[in-house]
Amino acid sequence: MRVPPSIPRVYMGNMKEYPFFLEQSCSHIFSHTAEFIPSALKFCLLAQGRADLYYRFRPTYEWDTAAGQAIILGAGGVVETLDGKALQYGKENWANPHFRVRPKDFFNDL
């Protein structure tokens, strides 16, 4: 995974969420280009160090994130809920809460 701080920082998200996230939080921190990338590949791009942060606010299920989370953890990253808890599996309805994917020390350098 990319070691922060990196210039430019690259944020990935769903195209429907993207403008809202940037306007509401950290547009001053991130370089942004709009690309259509399947969610599974976003995990890989983060693990490769080609991006810094991925927020997911739209519905996902455990089968959508399990392999990607394994790749991120193997690369030294974190997949967590928005309150900082590890994304958990074995939930009764299999639905994931909103989550983010990032390098371990990403927020320490902002």
* Range list of H helices, the chain: 18-21, 39-48, 62-74
What's the whole-model pTM score? 0.74
In a domain, 62, yes or no: yes
In a domain, 2, yes or no: no
What is the CATH classification number for the domain harbouring 87?
3.40.190.80
In a domain, 84, yes or no: yes
In a domain, 101, yes or no: yes
Residue 47's domain spans which residues?
Answer: 9-109
Split into its structural domains, the chain has a count of: 1
Amino acid letter, residue 92: E
| Average pLDDT of the residues in 21-31 | 52
Does the pLDDT at position 21 exceed 90?
no
In a domain, 1, yes or no: no
In a domain, 68, yes or no: yes
Do the Cβ atoms of 100 and 80 come closer than 8 Å? yes
pLDDT of the residue at 110: 47
In a domain, 4, yes or no: no
Does the pLDDT at position 3 exceed 60?
no
Interatomic CA distance for residues 64 and 50, integer angstroms: 21
In a domain, 100, yes or no: yes
Tokens describing residue 46: 């983060």
